[in-house]
Structure formats: C-alpha cells, structure tokens
Structure 1
Amino acid sequence: MIARLYLLIGLFLLSVTAVNAQQTKLLKGKVVEEGNQYPVAFATIMIGDNDTKQALTGATTAEDGSFNFEFTADNYYIEISFIGFEKKVITQPKTNDQVIDLGTIILAPDAQQLEEVVVQGEVSQTEFKLDRRVFNVGKDLSTTGASALEVLNNVPSVNVNIEGAVSLRGSTGVQMLINGKPSILASDEGNALGTITADMIERVEVITNPSAKYDAEGTSGIINIVLKKEERKGLNGSLSVNTGAPNNHSLGLSLNKRSEKFNLFSQLGAGYRELPNDVESINRDLTDNSSINSFGEEFRNETFYNFVLGADYYVDPTSVITLSGNVALEVEDQPSTTNFAAFDSNNILTSQWQRTEVTEATNPKFQYEFQYKKDFEDNEDHDLLFSALGNFFGKDQSSDFLDETISGEDRDNSQKTRTDFKESVFTFKLDYTKPFSEKWTMETGSQYVMNDVSNDYEVENLVNGEFVTDPGLTNIFEFDQKVLAFYGTGAYEGEKWGLKGGLRVENTDLNTLLTNTNEANDQNYTNFFPSAHTSYKFSERVSLQAGYSKRIYRPRLWDLNPFFNIRNNFNIRQGNPNLLPEFTDSYELTSIFFVGKTAMNFGVYYRKTTDVIERISFFENNVNTTRPENIGTNDATGVEFNTKYSPARWLTFNLDLNYNSFKREGTFEETVFDFSADQWSSKLNTKIKLPLDIDMEATGNYRSSYQTVQGQVAENIFMDLGVRKKLLKGRAVLNMSIRDVFASRVFENTIAQNDFEVYNRSQRGRFISFGFSYGFGKGEAMEFSGAKRF
C-alpha cells in the first residue's frame, strides 16, 4: 500500500515538472526598418525547434510592426524575416519569465534580394494581351501617394499636359475608361482622375488599336484604368491642400464608407486658379507688304466648386448597382490685353492701339452615372454590364471689348459678345462577355449616344453711341447627333498563340441648324468597323502582337460651330457646319522583349486616313480666319520604342520614342496640297529614390518641327520636375512640382502662302505647385486638383 502511494506521488511530481517545463510563454516586440525606423508590417515571427530546425508555431506583425502571441516550446529559437530584408535569428532567451519582450528588432535591407525583387517589380510590369498592353503600375512603389494623372504620366507612350489633358503617342484623341466603361471619374468635364490614387489602381491598359468592342471614335486609342477590387470596410478618407504660382489653390476632402451591402463615396472640393498665356502674332500681306503685329497677355481665372456623391449596393454576392452624381460650378474671369501695331508697305508704323477684354462666365455642370453589373458563378469573366452616363454643361458668358488708339490712325472701337451655351450628352451601354472555356470567349453588346447642343451667340458693335447687333457674326447654332452601335467579337487565347476578330456597326444621325439664316446640314450614315488581333508568345522573354481596326473621327462641336471668340479680331477661329468625318484604317505590329531584367517595346504602324480635317487659313485685309476643311488623304508610317530601365534600385529611366513619316495628298479650291514630311517625339522620365523616403522625378519632352498643309509647326522642348516626401509613416505626402522648369515650352507655327504669311506664338510659362495630403482610416493620401477646364 505504501509502495503504491510513493509511486503515485512520484508520477504526480513528474507531471508537475512536465507541466512547468511546457508552461505557456508570451512573446512580444516590434519590427522596424534599419535607418528610417519605419514599421515592417506582415513580417514573419517563427518559433523553431533547436534540434530539428522545424517550425513549431509563429505569427505575423501588425501594420505598426508589433507582434504579441503565446507559445509553449521549451528548446527553441526565434527567427524574424520579411522579403527584401536580412533574416534575424535570436537564440532562446535565458530567462524563466513567462513574458518575453524582445523590444525593437531592427531588420537591415538585403541588398541582393532587394535588387531581385524591387527591380523585377518595377521593370517586369508589361505584358501583352490580344488587343492591348498592360502596365501594372499599381505595384510600382514609387507612385504611392500620387494621383492617377501622375501615374499615367509615368506610363510609356502616355503623357499628361499642364491642364490635365491625356495624350497617347503624342495624340490627344484618347478615350478614357474606368474598369472598361465610361465613368464620371474619367470624364473630361469633372474632377476626373485627380480623385483616384495610385494605390487604388491595379493596372493601366493601353489599347492603341482598339477592337470592335470599343467605340470607333478616337484614332489614337483607349486608356482603361482598372481599379483594385479590395474591400476597405469602415470609414476611410483623404484630405488634401494645394497651393501654387501662378495662383492655384484648392482644398479637397474625400470620404468612403463601406459595409457588407453598401459602399458610399463622396468628395467635396473648392479652389481658385489662374492660367496666364503670353501671345504674339504677325499677319503680313505679301501683295502690298503691309502687316499687323500684335502681342499681349490672356488670363483665364476660375473659382470652382465640385461635389461628388455615389453609392455601390451589393444586391447579392454576384450583383452590384452603382449610382453616382457630380455637381460642379465654375465662375470665370477672363481679362486680356492685346497691343496692336499697323505697318504700311514701306514698313512704317501707321497706327498703334490697345484692345482690352473683360469677360465673365458662369459654368454649371451636372453628371450622373447608373451601372448594373452581374457576375455569373460559372466563370469569373462571365458578366453582364449595363451603364448609363449623363452629362450637362452650360455657359452663360458676356464679354466687353474696348479698342483705344495710342498713336496714328484712329482705331477706337467697342464691341460686346454674349454666349448662352447648353450641351447634354447621354450614353447608354450594354456589354455581355461569355467565356465558353479557358481559351474561347465571346463578347457582344450595344451603345447609344445622344448629344444635343444649343449655342446662342451675339456680337454687338458700338455705332453712333449705341450697340447694334452684327448680323454676320450673330446666330443660334443647334447641334443634334445620335450614334447607335452594335458589336460582336470572338477570341481564342492559348498558352502561346491567340486570335481575336470582331465587327462593329454604327449609325450616325447628325443635324445642325443656324436658326437665324435657316442653314441646315443633315447627315445620316452607317459604317462597318471590323477589327482583327493576334498575338504569339515565343518565350517568356519575347512576345509579338499584330492588329487591324477601322476608326472614325466625327467633327466635334467646335469644329462645326461657325462662331468663336473674337478676342483678337485679326486672328479669328471658326467652325465649319459642312465638315465630314475622318475614316482611318490602322495597322500595327508590336513586340515586347526582355534584355536581362529590362522590358523593351518596339512597334511599327501604318495608318491611312481619308477626308482628313485640317484648319485652313483665309486671309483678307490682314485678317486671318482659320476654318476646318476636309483635305484629301494622309498615309502615315511610324515606329515606336519605349522601355523602363533600372540600373540601380534607387534609379529608374522611362524612355519613349516615336517617329512617323507621312504623305499628304489633297486639293482645296484649286490649290493642291501634296507633300511628304516627317516628325518625331521623345519623352525621358527619370525617377530617383533619395534617403529619408524622398522621391524625385524629372521628365523631359521633345517634339520635332513638322510641316502642315500651309506652313510649319516649330519644335518644342521642355522639362517638368517633381519631389515627393512621405510623412507620418506614409499616411501623409508632401509634394512639390515645377511644370516647364526652364520656361521653354513655347508653341510656334508659321503659315506661308504666296500672298500672305502668318506667325503665331504662345507660352504658358512656368508653374510651381505645393501640396499636402493626408489619408485617414484606410484611405490613402491623394491629390485633388479641381475640375478640368472646358
């Protein structure tokens, strides 16, 4: 009996010892980067067995780099690791404490690993799809805190000018899409892409030769911004403040509230900006050698307000409804002063006078968007999308012009103009995509666009102390255009080879009317727009893509409207109600290949355009009037090269080169416009990562001179500079940018004909801006730049 008692006591003591040996311990600490002391989120903390070297348990660090978890190992070691950093191993602490506090653990960068990972992440971002190139800019760490406009400015072949206009391979005829559809965020009329941050973007798709799925408008292609699908539940937002010189001040607040069923988003912005422009022109009559010289400064000053409100409603896991709206108001002040000088045939000054302008305008803007998307469960790419986008723009403008004689011949005069402008555009679109397998896909859909415009324009001249309407420059212009389209495409995409073909049919019904003179121009035409694309992947390093599509350029409102601003009444721009559309057959062959870790894109293209629209000058009494006309054909053959090269992880170059040779043939009013010429352009973007989390960026642009049907456009070279500093662990961004650093961005063109010459020069000058943005919740710091000008 006593022996059994001793045995039980012994077993009890052994069990207590074992329990004590396996007692629960608490491990805690914080992981930061060497140098800047920034927290390392999602680093791995592993508890390993000292004998077997196998992992026993572990955890990852939180967003602030901290960790806190329990374990029960006895003979162990601790390993801390994260991609891009050297591993740190800590032997078992010599302590019997149940709480093990490792304090702050500093991880040093792994230079070799970073070279592999970061360069790969920044360089290997380009891939070919059947009819597009894909740039995964959302993974580029250097774009954090930037707006979508800044992101686009770093995409090869894409450029964003000082007014926010996006161009592709030097052409501004670009259609912007968000997630494959028109959107308020991509509209020319609203705050547009300034509200989208780089961290929201998954990729940018550049489609230089669109398939039949897309609108046949826009010969320079399509840019589609695909946003990330990640959910950020809770209240997120961003606040931004900007200032600059010339005066450019704005304040923006963006809020987002996401729950299981709803995603509410809104933005409120306001600001003031000035856009000066120095202009100069010389009109010379070669028949009598007389001339009119003018120079001056124009301003467009705006106070603007912008409000966006929208919501996503998730009907079920596969269906979502989106409804959003945008209300904006611009109050414009456009003062200008132009100095004139008249010279006779002996180049003797005969008169000097000054023309001043006082213009005020109020521009209300309204937009709405409704979208329904249905994802089918059999395939993630099987979906149905219906969208409706509405847009209204109005302009109530009045201008007073006063001519005052300085010397010589009396030039005193007064004029008034009045503009009542209204435009409504409605776009309805239905798209259906059905994958039959991993390799075969069908797309079909339709689109209906209605564009209704009324422009009531009046010019009054001071005659005998009273203002009298000038009937030759006064009228009401009505513009009504409806475009109905249907399309279908089929695609096969294998591991190495793919083929996609499609057909789009569009019917255009256009009606214009000058009501005062009852001049009407009605056009109704139906066109077929075929497309074909193929791609072949030779290896992981070499791919080839070829494509064909037929495109159309329909004359815009300002191409058709015969009345325009008379700010300089010796250089007048007019529209032409009788213009016909341009049609282009576009062929492309493009390749992507990797040399080491550097991706290079090289392509050749050919475009044949008929009924080319050119602005033609008509000269009389030293007054130059330009009006668009359909002038013959244009055959353009070009090559394009772009690459992104990182010789070091702190230095990246983006190079874009484009050259094209073109042949023009045409006749207008018995004048033959046949000639051959060429032009080329280049853009070099350099990004430098500096210590203290500072990024610097410099972009140089060059466009060569080129010949036009009546003259020549001069070369253009300029550079932009930007610096960005992250603050508050990346929550805030402080940035500075200088557009046109050397004030060299000058636009010059010369018209040289047998009986007259016209020289024009304009320069915006240097723009400097400073901005601060702060993200809260899970929002990202972003830029708000206000609504884009009309």
Structure 2
Amino acid sequence: MRKITLTLSFTIIVVIAYSQFPAGRPGGEGMGGQNINIGHFYGKLVDAKTNKPIVDATVQLIGNKFDTVTKKMKEVILATVLAKPNGDFSLENLPVFGTFKLSATAIGYKALSQNLSFGIKFPAGGATQDPNFMQQMLGMVDKDLGNLKMESESNDLGNVTVSAPIKQQFELGIDRKIFNVDKNLESTGQTATEVMKNIPSINVDIDGNVTLRNATPTIFIDDRPTTLTLDQIPADIIDKIEIITNPSAKYDASGGNAGIINIILKKNKKIGYNGGFRTGADSYGKFNGGGDFNVRQGKINAFVNFSYNQRKFKSNGTTDQNNFFNPPSNVYSTQDAVNNGEFKFIRGGFDYLADNRNTITIAGNYVKGQFNSNTTLNSDSTISSIYAANNQGISNADRSFENKGAQLGYKHNFAKNGENLTADLNYNASTNYSNSNNNIYTYFPNTSTQKQPPLLQQTLTDGSQKYYTIQSDYENPISDSKKFEAGVRAAIRDFGNNSTQLKYNNNTGNYDKLPGISNNYKFNDQVYAAYVNYKGKINKLGYQIGLRAESSSYTGTLLNVNGADSSNFSVKYPVSLFPSAFLTYKLTDKQDVQINYSRRVNRPNFFQLIPFPNYSNYPVSVSVGNPVLNPEFTNSMELSYNNAYKPKANFLATAYFKYTTNLITQYIYRGKDQLNPNTSDSIYYSTYINANSGISYGLELTNNMPVTKWWDLLLNLNLFNSKINANNINANNGNGEVALATNSILSYFAKINNNFKLGKGYSLQISGNYQSKTVLPQSNNGGGGGPFNQVQTTAQGYLLPRWSMDAAIRKDWTWKKGQSGSLTLGMNDIFRTNYQESFSEQTGLFNQDNRRISNPQILRLTFSYRFGKFDASLFKRKNLKSTPDTGSMDMMGGGN
C-alpha cells in the first residue's frame, strides 16, 4: 500500500513540476526550478582500518539552491545529523535532482568528503514518453551508501601526531606541543603554574616564574592574550595547553624571543549534559574545591566553571653579598617568608547556534583573591672584616586583586567547506591593592641595644589595568592543497598605578608622606595589526608564507608629583613588518622535516617602564622601572625532524636559533638611599635597560612512547646556550665607568615523565627534572609566577644546577548512567632537593650568592566526581525546511 501511495504521489508531483517549465523541462542540476523533497541517503561510518563504528561523527549534506536575488545557483547546507553510537546515519526529505556533497567529521579522523546524486534523469521528450520512468525513479530515491570508511589523522607536519580518539597526555607536532591536562595526575587541585612543570620545553623556578627556552613566553587563553597570571588559573578548568615555540604571522607579534603558551579551557560541546565537582586539601591544611556544568540542547550550548583555592607559600633562604666599596663590606642575610591567601574563580557563557552557518558566543570570567605575607630578614654586616651591626627586618603585606573579563564572538561558516569568518571582542579589567609595612631595626654587634632609631616604612599601592582587543579572521581553502588566511587586530591597554611611600616620624609619632618617592602614574599602550597567510602544497613539499604589520604607540602620564599637575611622555613606534615562512617536506608516511622563520617583538611592560622605586625588598635591593626602554626585536629559526616510528610514539628533534637586538635585561646600579636620606650609605637599585643584543641557540629532543601496554614514557632534553652582549652598559663603581662583560654558558635541562596503568582503576605518575648551570634569564616580561622574586637577575650571573621529583597516584571508578569518580594523592619535590641557587655580580660594585627553597614536600589529596548524559535524542535542531507531505515542493536546498 505504501509503495502504491508513493508511486501515485510521485507521479502527481512530477507532472506538476514538469508543467511549470517551458518546453516541458523540469528544474534539474544547475537550473532554477523547483525540486522534489522525498530523497533519502543513509549509511554507516566506520574506521578504515578496524571497521569499527565511529562515535560522535557529524554528517552534513550540501547542495545547490537558486538565489532569486543574484539569479544564480549557490551552495547551501541541506541537512546536518549526528551519527548514532553504532555509526549509522540517515538524511531524509532531500531533493531528488542534482548533485550533492556529503561531508563527515569526527575527532581523531580526517574529514570525509564524497560527491553524491540519486542518478535521476528525465527521458528525452519528457517523463510521459517512458512508461517505466516513474517506477524506476521511485526505486532510486532511497539510496544506501553502505559503509563509508574514515581514516585516522595522519602525521602531517602541522598537525598533532597522536591521533587516537582517546587523548594521550602528550601530543607532539613539529609546530607545537599539546599537553592534555586531565591526563596529568600531579597538577590535580592546583593551578596552571604547577601544570607547566610537566610540559616539555618549559622551565618553572621555585617562585613559579615560567620560561620557555630560557625566555618568558606570552600567555594566551583560548587563543587570546590575557591579563590573568598562571597562578590565578585553576588547573582543573584547563582542557589542554599548546606550546607554540615559533608562531607564524597569524599570531600577535608580541612576545619577543619566547613563544606562546596557549591555555585551552574546558568547554564540552557534546549533545546532552555533563558536569562534576571536586574537593581536596594539602598538608599545609589548605582547601580547594570547585565544579563545572555544561549542557547542549537545541541551539544553545551553555557552560559554567567555578573554583575556590586556598594557598600557602613557605620560603626560606640565605644571601651572601660582598660590596666593593671603600672600605669593602659584606652582608649575610637569612630570610623566612610565609604567604597565606585564597582566590575564587568563576567562568561561564554560552554558544548560540543561530543556524548551520552562524554561531554567537558570549563568555565571561571573574577572579578575586587576597593574600597576606610575613617576612623576617636577619642581616649581619661586616666592614673591612670587622663585625659592624645586626639588622632585623620585619615585613607584613596585605594584597588583593580582582579581574573581570568578557568575550563576544561571532563565527560564520560559508557554504564552501572550510571557509569561515570570525570576529571577537574581548575585554579584561583588573585592579590590585597592597598595604605593606617594612620595619628595620639595627643593633650593636652581639647585643640587643639599638644602634639607631628603627626605620619604619609603609607603602600603599593601588593599580588598575584595562585591556581591550578587537579581532577578525578569515580563512578560505582555495583548493584541497591551498589556503588563504587574513585578519586584523586592535589592542588597547590602560594601566594606572598610585604608590604612596610613608615613613614613621619618631618626633611626632605619625607616618609622614615622602613626596619625592611617591607617585601616581598611568600609561596607555595601543597596537594595531593586520596579517596575511598563504598555505600550499607541491607534491611532498608544503609551504606557508605570511606577513604581519603592526603599529604601536605608548603614552605615559605622571600625575600630581612634587607640586606639578602632570607631565607626559609619549612615543609612537613606526609600522613594523613581521614575516614568517614555513617549509615542510614529507620524507615518508611517518617522517617529516620542517624549517621555519619568524620575526617578533617584545615591548616593555608596565613594571619595566614605571620610573619609581619599589621598596618591598629594602634594603637588599630596590626595583625601579625605566621609561625610555625600547622594544626588543627577535629573529627566530627552527629546523625540525619528526618521526612517528610506531603507533602512539613520536620522536621530535628541533634545532633553534634566536637573535635579539635591543635586548631588555635587568641591571643593578648603586645610588643614594632616598628612603633614608640622612644616612651616607648607598643602596642598590635594580632596573631594566637595553643591552646591545642577545643570542640563544639549542637543540631540543623529545621522545614520547609506550614502553609497554601499561607504561608510557616521555623524555625531553634541551641543550642550549645564551649569550648576552652588554658592553654598551656601564657600571658605576664610584671610581669610574666599567663595561659589563659578555656572558655565555652552555646549559641543558632534562625532563622525564612516567605514566603507569596499574590495573583495577589505579594509575601512577612519576616525573623528574634536572637543570644544569644556566645563565640567568635574559628578560622577564610577565608570564605569571608566584609571590616572591628575590634573585637579582643582571646581565652577569647564573643559576647553579638543581633537580626535583614529583609523584601522584590515582584511583578511578566508573558507575552506571555516566557517573565516574577519582581519588588522587600527590606530592611535589619528594626528596626536598629543589633549591634555587644563583650567583650574580655587577663589575666594580658587588657579587652575591643566593640560596632558597620554596614549598617542598607538600602532600595533596583530591576527590573528583563526574556525571553526564550524552544523548543524541537531546539534539533538537530545527529542520532546515518545513517537513513536507507527499505533495509538497520547495526550492532546491532549503534554508541556510
């Protein structure tokens, strides 16, 4: 009966459609006529090698539609479905005339593209001339495509080489390394700073300062710059971290001689809902907790993450400083510091899928924290080897910060596969406040008698920062082997800092303001950029060339200092060009070679520019910015070899070279004590200055491999040398000018990460790292870090070797209805060996040995619970066309 009904309906439809066209021609391929929507394609997606069903694949059908405005045919999306768990898919209510393009995508697989048609053609003279045409046509509108095989991702140079649907902890590619955070046991319940400790190429010192190949990288969140520091980002909300050592022209040129650390936050887009919560504590008695929830239904994908972390830092160390004064002196200091605090983090947003081509994203985050630090500094001073005095410094500081961020994004997918246009508006605003008291007591040797009245100092500081970015990117795959990219970007930053220095007056019993060293300072920084990228492939040779143009300006304003209303300082940098080039050659299916080049810039940050002293580490040193710092420019080259020598295994070797001009480096000089002007003693000031140049080069080897079915091993070795040419800088030793010598040390650091599957839901992770004697980092331009930074990094100095080991064990449970749980126990610096020891000197002024340790042997216990339902029945997408009955017709292709 159904067949008879369809035959009758089909006949009536064809006759009506046929009669609508002159000379009896129905609308067909390339025509602007009406079409018949009773077609049906169906099939199954399977793995090309295993023939197993592919889970969570998206299937899309593209066809032609007549545009009544342009009077031309255009491609439109006819249908989009999600394949069932067994790989089956079905596309119904389709036009029966014309040709179509079917595409299928799934995580870990190459995109599948196939041209289709129902093969229906009208007989010469019209359908009525062939009495069997209707019956033949009916049998052709229901078409089984069979098993469509999809291939897993190949090991192309620019892509991730570990491609299994189940994520590995490390995924290695020639242009980047990807670290999947949820596979890292040791960072559970911590922050992004702790995550970095296990990532190849990255070094983290005991204060949490991060360097990438011995330079400070730029931090991105979800492909955009951020004002958050690494210790303000909870590890449990991070999905993965991408390390891009030599970014192309597509990326912001800022970052100087380091690359980009791109933090991708969790955002589940599976259909259905999922969520979880976590809680934990450490051996310091500090608590952490949080949760997340994500739901996708219909046109809305919504998500929220929240976290609460209590933090405690303990640090102790010694400093031995020899001063080459006349007469010479020595100061030996011991320091103990404790920092307690907490911060709260919440992030939420949603994607609105307006239709198959347009998506709008709105997201926001809020972070707030407060910390209290207490530091005790005891110093013994000798002059000409004679014990002169004992100084006791007691510091207390209350600090707080607040960060607000918002993002508005739009993405339009054109009918052409891979062609898209995105636009983003980002806003970040942060404030900080601190109230610190620094009291110094000086005693006669071996007595409790004060040698002079105590020096009681107070510093009140409040600052603000606003960061706006507007960005738009366009991608167009010209062909299967060629792709064009272009984009524009504007970034505006407003900084403000108000610092009031107070000193206790022993005569009045009040704190008096010191106007000479108090300040109210702000500046505005603007960067405008545009870029183009072109990718292509000729046989086994792939290439990408790009060019980025950036224009920047800086304006600083000094407000109400020393009776002056204001004074301005501004500079406008000319347009700078930043080319990039990548050449890749595929030796075999498993081996690739790549050479690349880029030019980048590192502009001075707020703290490097502000020209006022910071007395938080007085009297050991006083930091002060330099408002006339120039940007540094870096030319980088890399030569890489990648070999995926067996499944889930990679060997990656990269030789790199970087040459930097106007290198920003820290510099120490001797000057008058402005805080205590009555004394004849001078103190050391630490500032920033442009050295002539800096060179760094090295060889990095990374091997990621499964040793057995239950043991995965990652090895990373980075052999490098850094050389600073600072002979343009003079050090005033009180008797003349002395040029600084060139500094160079051949160094290396190594990392090992072992992951063991112990069975019955247990897993174990053991990691270790070793760093040899190393030149102090060339520059420090942000990148996050902890609350302490005591080492005086100058153009001359080095770090002594250090090593440490961390471990964690986890038990996983899986229950019914999508529920799971885990319990993780971990400890950092198991053997209490992670001492940071350094030597620094300034020719003609001083030399200094420093030794410190921070937060060793902390035990952490964290429990995590997850729930969710990934159900395709929740996918309630509006049909692209109104559901037709057997007698309805519409224009070919439906809506878009």
TM-score, normalising length: structure 2: 0.68
Equivalent residue, structure 2, for 1:431 = 473
Q: Does 1:550 align with 2:589?
A: no
Equivalent residue, structure 1, for 2:571 = 523
Q: Does 1:722 align with 2:808?
A: yes
Contact 2:717 2:751 in 1 (8 A): yes
Equivalent residue, structure 2, for 1:496 = 540
TM-score, normalising length: structure 1: 0.77
Equivalent of 2:374 in 331, 335, 338: 335
Contact 1:355 1:403 in 2 (8 A): yes
Equivalent of 1:299 in 338, 345, 351: 338
Aligned counterparts, 1:106-121, within 5 A:
none
Q: Unaligned regions of 5+ residues in structure 2, if any? A: 1-51, 56-83, 88-161, 446-450, 672-680, 731-736, 777-794, 871-896
Please state how far the C-alpha of 1:512 moved relative to its aligned partner: 1.9
**Could you list the per-position Cα deviations for residues 543-593 of structure 1 after superposition, in whole angstroms to 9, with x for gaps in the alignment?**
001100001111111111233242432222222111111100001110112
Equivalent of 2:439 in 376, 379, 402: 402
Equivalent residue, structure 1, for 2:851 = 761
Equivalent of 1:574 in 624, 641, 649: 624
Equivalent residue, structure 2, for 1:774 = 865
Please state how far the C-alpha of 1:144 moved relative to its aligned partner: 13
Cα distance in 1, alignment partners of residues 634 and 384 from structure 2: 45
Equivalent residue, structure 1, for 2:583 = 534
Please state how far the C-alpha of 1:611 moved relative to its aligned partner: 0.6
Q: Cα gap change, 1:386/1:163 in structure 2, threshold over 3 Å: closer, same or farther?
A: farther
**Could you list the per-position Cα deviations for residues 317-353 of structure 1 after superposition, in whole angstroms to 9, with x for gaps in the alignment?**
22111111112221221222222222221242x2223
Please state how far the C-alpha of 1:155 moved relative to its aligned partner: 4.8
**Could you list the per-position Cα deviations for residues 360-391 of structure 1 after superposition, in whole angstroms to 9, with x for gaps in the alignment?**
23322211111111112211x21111112211
**Could you list the per-position Cα deviations for residues 482-511 of structure 1 after superposition, in whole angstroms to 9, with x for gaps in the alignment?**
001111111103562211111101111111
Equivalent of 2:663 in 570, 593, 612: 612
Q: Does 1:384 align with 2:414?
A: no
Cα distance in 2, alignment partners of residues 723 and 160 from structure 1: 22
Cα distance in 1, alignment partners of residues 693 and 172 from structure 2: 34
Equivalent of 1:701 in 754, 763, 769: 769
Contact 1:282 1:293 in 2 (8 A): yes
Contact 2:345 2:367 in 1 (8 A): yes
Identical amino acids, percent of aligned pairs: 25
Equivalent of 1:638 in 694, 698, 703: 698
Please state how far the C-alpha of 1:403 moved relative to its aligned partner: 2.5
Q: Does 1:710 align with 2:799?
A: no
Please state how far the C-alpha of 1:128 moved relative to its aligned partner: 4.8
Contact 2:267 2:303 in 1 (8 A): no
Q: Cα gap change, 1:324/1:253 in structure 2, threshold over 3 Å: closer, same or farther?
A: same
Cα distance in 1, alignment partners of residues 587 and 169 from structure 2: 17
Q: Cα gap change, 1:221/1:43 in structure 2, threshold over 3 Å: closer, same or farther?
A: closer
Equivalent residue, structure 2, for 1:107 = none
**Could you list the per-position Cα deviations for residues 134-169 of structure 1 after superposition, in whole angstroms to 9, with x for gaps in the alignment?**
648599799999999587665533466778766544
Q: Does 1:602 align with 2:653?
A: yes
Q: Does 1:475 align with 2:519?
A: yes
Q: Cα gap change, 1:291/1:236 in structure 2, threshold over 3 Å: closer, same or farther?
A: same
Please state how far the C-alpha of 1:451 moved relative to its aligned partner: 0.8
**Could you list the per-position Cα deviations for residues 93-115 of structure 1 after superposition, in whole angstroms to 9, with x for gaps in the alignment?**
xxxxxxxxxxxxxxxxxxxxxxx
Could you tell me which amino acid in structure 1 is paired with residue 247 of structure 2? P
Q: SS of the counterpart of 2:765?
A: strand
Contact 2:191 2:232 in 1 (8 A): no
Q: Unaligned regions of 5+ residues in structure 1, if any? A: 1-40, 45-58, 63-116, 780-790
Cα distance in 2, alignment partners of residues 595 and 476 from structure 1: 60
Aligned counterparts, 1:211-290, within 5 A:
211-218=248-255, 219-224=257-262, 231-287=269-325, 288-290=327-329
Contact 2:468 2:491 in 1 (8 A): yes
Cα distance in 1, alignment partners of residues 513 and 220 from structure 2: 41
Equivalent residue, structure 1, for 2:747 = 679
**Could you list the per-position Cα deviations for residues 173-209 of structure 1 after superposition, in whole angstroms to 9, with x for gaps in the alignment?**
143342x44579x875853653134xxx6xx654221
Q: SS of the counterpart of 2:516?
A: helix
Equivalent of 1:444 in 486, 491, 494: 486
Contact 1:574 1:626 in 2 (8 A): yes
Contact 1:354 1:404 in 2 (8 A): yes
Equivalent of 1:583 in 630, 633, 648: 633
Equivalent residue, structure 2, for 1:690 = 758
Cα distance in 2, alignment partners of residues 490 and 188 from structure 1: 33
Could you tell me which amino acid in structure 2 is paired with residue 289 of structure 1? P
Q: Cα gap change, 1:512/1:189 in structure 2, threshold over 3 Å: closer, same or farther?
A: farther
Q: Does 1:668 align with 2:754?
A: no
Q: SS of the counterpart of 2:459?
A: strand
Q: SS of the counterpart of 1:777?
A: strand
Contact 2:206 2:836 in 1 (8 A): no
Q: Does 1:485 align with 2:529?
A: yes
Q: SS of the counterpart of 2:607?
A: helix
Contact 2:438 2:616 in 1 (8 A): no
Equivalent residue, structure 2, for 1:508 = 552
Contact 2:238 2:263 in 1 (8 A): no
Q: Cα gap change, 1:133/1:496 in structure 2, threshold over 3 Å: closer, same or farther?
A: farther
Q: SS of the counterpart of 1:685?
A: strand
Report runs of 4+ in structure 1 exceeding 6 Å deviation. Answer: 41-44, 59-62, 117-125, 138-148, 160-165, 226-230
**Could you list the per-position Cα deviations for residues 729-775 of structure 1 after superposition, in whole angstroms to 9, with x for gaps in the alignment?**
47111112212212222222222333422222322131221111101
Q: Does 1:417 align with 2:455?
A: no
Could you tell me which amino acid in structure 2 is paired with residue 375 of structure 1? N
**Could you list the per-position Cα deviations for residues 461-489 of structure 1 after superposition, in whole angstroms to 9, with x for gaps in the alignment?**
11222222223321112121000111111
Aligned residue pairs, count:
660
Q: SS of the counterpart of 2:344?
A: strand
Q: Cα gap change, 1:706/1:152 in structure 2, threshold over 3 Å: closer, same or farther?
A: closer
Equivalent residue, structure 2, for 1:85 = none
Please state how far the C-alpha of 1:683 moved relative to its aligned partner: 0.9
